[in-house]
Amino acid sequence: MEAEPGIVSPFKRVFLKGEKGRDKKSQEKLTERRALHTVPLSLPDHRVDPDILLNDYIEKEVKYLGQLTSVPGYLNPSSRTEVLQLIDNARKLHQIAGQLTAELDALVSLSAYNVKLVWRDGEDIILRVPIHDIAAASYIRDDALHLVVLKTAQEPGASPSPSGGAEGSKSPTLSALTEPGAVLLELCSLLVLAVENKAAAEELCMLLSQVFQIVYTESTIDFLDRAIFDGASTPTRHLSLYSDDSSSKVALVPSEGDLSFPGSLDGGGNSPSSCSSTPASPQIKTVSEGELSTTAAELLQDYMTTLRTKLSSQEIQQFAMLLHEYRNGSSIHEFCINLRQLYGDSRKFLLLGLRPFIPEKDSQHFENFLETIGVKDGRGIITDSFGRYRRAVSSASGSTTNGNAAGEESEEQRAPSEGDEWDRMISDISNDIEALGCSMDQDSS
């Protein structure tokens, strides 16, 4: 703390006290504020290493003027007139700050995951917007004001009318339906920030543009991976236990070379205690069940190949552990929840590939679980196609039915002995997956 000033004339004390006091406080604040977490940006397009946005973050100073909610979704973020009209109206209604004061100082923290806004002093959080909720970012110069406006999804619960409150709370973009027969209107929010100058505004917009590019690129590659996985996973034969080719033998696990990972294997000393000892090389198992075993083998190979590209070595071991626990009595519910947690939101589609490995008795729960987490049919071409594959061996000719109707249309037409055979095969396959997880421990140790 600074030392108190010496004796000052009463006149000055009275006249200048407020201003000086405020200036002094502002000055103190400025000197007390921490440095920003940022990096130099390459000009002219303010490029930053994508890794920084993926694994770190960048802070910029802004002034937070406020957030407008229940804005019609059809607002054109490129229209200066439209946006300023909304802001002006909001100012009149005191929904947006009119003057730029130090109290509005804030920090925007930008990463590939979200835009976070905190007050500059005290750093209390104002709001956080996931990147996928940001529709557009605009720079508007209004005389001396340099505004950056983010058009975002409407926050849940911010529905403008009581009748639409329920809908609004379910989805960020659902609108209020004010009266029967009224047209549904998509709503959005506008986050209004002010920056120091044009350069700062352009910098912020370019950073956001790079974030969008990273996120869009990642999601596009994911889309490609899912398309390949889906096409590869769909069965290519009628599922039948018996085949003319009953003398065929097939390896159920990939060759040893396929187990290698680009990075180093970690967790070598942490193999699950319940894992039985297995040879360093994966088990090669031959079966003579013909068609069914070949299909199961291919499904396993495809699934393991996909897991290797999507999960880290540690995560694969975790997957093996969860599978082991499930096979040893843990509930399907727990299995699903733990797997969902392991895969996360971006990889939840991997759960679909587990369909063939879920025993009959748990398949209904599994299907319901898939539906609750939004990876079942009706949500796009990928999940529609996943739904075409039916776990049930019963419908030899009907395995292209839509998964939504799976529960209604499926009928067990096979004899109990066939079902037991299927379950035994799945049990064998699951053991191989667990062995794969264990053998990775031995490889890494």
Partner 1 sequence: MTMEEMKNEAETNSMVSMTLYAVMYPVFNELERVNLSAAQTLRAAFIKAEKENPGLTQDIIVKILEKKNVEVNFTESLLRMASDDVEEYLIDRPEPEFQDLNEKARALKHILSKIPDEINDRVRFLQTIKDIASAIKELLDTVNIVFKKYQYQNRRALEHQKKEFVKYSKSFSDTLKTYFKDGKAINVFISANRLIHQTNLILQTFKTVA
Rounded to whole angstroms, the Cα distance separating 445 from 440 reads 9
Q: Which is nearer to partner 1, 72 or 231 (CB)?
A: 231
346 near partner 1, rule: CB under 8 A: no
Q: Which is nearer to partner 1, 194 or 352 (CB)?
A: 352
Could you say which residues in the range 170-209 bind partner 1, by CB under 8 A? Answer: none
Question: Taking the complex as a whole, how short is the minimal distance between the CB of residue 234 and partner 1, in angstroms?
Answer: 5
377 near partner 1, rule: CB under 8 A: no
381 near partner 1, rule: CB under 8 A: yes
The two tokens of residue 176 are 């209020």
Question: Taking the complex as a whole, how short is the minimal distance between the CB of residue 243 and partner 1, in angstroms?
Answer: 10
Question: Taking the complex as a whole, how short is the minimal distance between the CB of residue 238 and partner 1, in angstroms?
Answer: 7
Rounded to whole angstroms, the Cα distance separating 440 from 265 reads 8
- Residue 50-79 contact track with partner 1, rule CB under 8 A, x = bound: x-----------------------------
Question: Taking the complex as a whole, how short is the minimal distance between the CB of residue 382 and partner 1, in angstroms?
Answer: 8
Residues across the chain: 445
How many other C-beta atoms are found inside a 10 Å radius of the C-beta of residue 445?
12
Opening angle at CA 434, ends 422 and 387, nearest 5:
50
Cis ω for the linkage preceding 44 (within 30 of 0): yes
Torsional sign, CA 260, 261, 267, 272: negative
Q: Which is nearer to partner 1, 309 or 372 (CB)?
A: 309
Range in contact with partner 1 (rule: CB under 8 A) among 36-44, 173-181, 199-207, 221-229: 221-229
Rounded to whole angstroms, the Cα distance separating 132 from 152 reads 9
Could you say which residues in the range 229-288 bind partner 1, by CB under 8 A? Answer: 230-232, 234-238
Could you say which residues in the range 383-422 bind partner 1, by CB under 8 A? Answer: 385, 399-400
Could you say which residues in the range 306-325 bind partner 1, by CB under 8 A? Answer: 309
428 near partner 1, rule: CB under 8 A: no
Question: Taking the complex as a whole, how short is the minimal distance between the CB of residue 298 and partner 1, in angstroms?
Answer: 7
Question: Taking the complex as a whole, how short is the minimal distance between the CB of residue 224 and partner 1, in angstroms?
Answer: 4
217 near partner 1, rule: CB under 8 A: yes
298 near partner 1, rule: CB under 8 A: yes
Q: Which is nearer to partner 1, 216 or 242 (CB)?
A: 216
Question: Taking the complex as a whole, how short is the minimal distance between the CB of residue 78 and partner 1, in angstroms?
Answer: 16
Opening angle at CA 176, ends 172 and 180, nearest 5:
145
Of positions 225, 315, 418, 443, contacts partner 1 by CB under 8 A: 225
Rounded to whole angstroms, the Cα distance separating 115 from 120 reads 15
Provide the CA 109 distance to its chain's centre, in angstroms.
Answer: 19
The two tokens of residue 40 are 């130099």
Question: Taking the complex as a whole, how short is the minimal distance between the CB of residue 283 and partner 1, in angstroms?
Answer: 21
223 near partner 1, rule: CB under 8 A: yes
Residues 300/411, Cβ–Cβ less than 8 Å: no
Question: Taking the complex as a whole, how short is the minimal distance between the CB of residue 240 and partner 1, in angstroms?
Answer: 11
Residues 105/30, Cβ–Cβ less than 8 Å: no
Range in contact with partner 1 (rule: CB under 8 A) among 222-230, 327-335, 357-365, 420-428: 222-230
302 near partner 1, rule: CB under 8 A: yes
Range in contact with partner 1 (rule: CB under 8 A) among 8-16, 74-82, 272-280, 380-388: 380-388
Neighbouring residues of 406: CB distance < 8 A, sequence distance ≥ 6:
367, 387, 390, 392
What are the distances in angstroms from CA 267 to CA 205, 278, 432? 42, 17, 20
Question: What residues does 188 pair with on adjacent strands?
Answer: 71, 153
Question: Taking the complex as a whole, how short is the minimal distance between the CB of residue 398 and partner 1, in angstroms?
Answer: 11
End-to-end CA distance of the chain: 57
Nearest by Cα to 160 from 69, 66, 75:
69
**With DSSP H G I counted as helix, E B as strand and the rest as coil, what are the percentages for the chain, rounded to 5?**
45, 15, 40
Query: Which of the 8 DSSP states describes residue 47?
Result: B
Q: Which is nearer to partner 1, 225 or 360 (CB)?
A: 225
Range in contact with partner 1 (rule: CB under 8 A) among 1-9, 189-197, 213-221, 360-368: 213-221
Question: What residues does 61 pair with on adjacent strands?
Answer: 107
Nearest by Cα to 152 from 163, 138, 170, 166:
138
Rounded to whole angstroms, the Cα distance separating 398 from 408 reads 13
Q: Which is nearer to partner 1, 42 or 427 (CB)?
A: 42
The two tokens of residue 297 are 């083998």
224 near partner 1, rule: CB under 8 A: yes
Question: Taking the complex as a whole, how short is the minimal distance between the CB of residue 225 and partner 1, in angstroms?
Answer: 6
Which stretches of the chain bind partner 1, using CB under 8 A? 50, 213, 216-217, 220-221, 223-228, 230-232, 234-238, 298, 302, 305, 309, 381-382, 385, 399-400
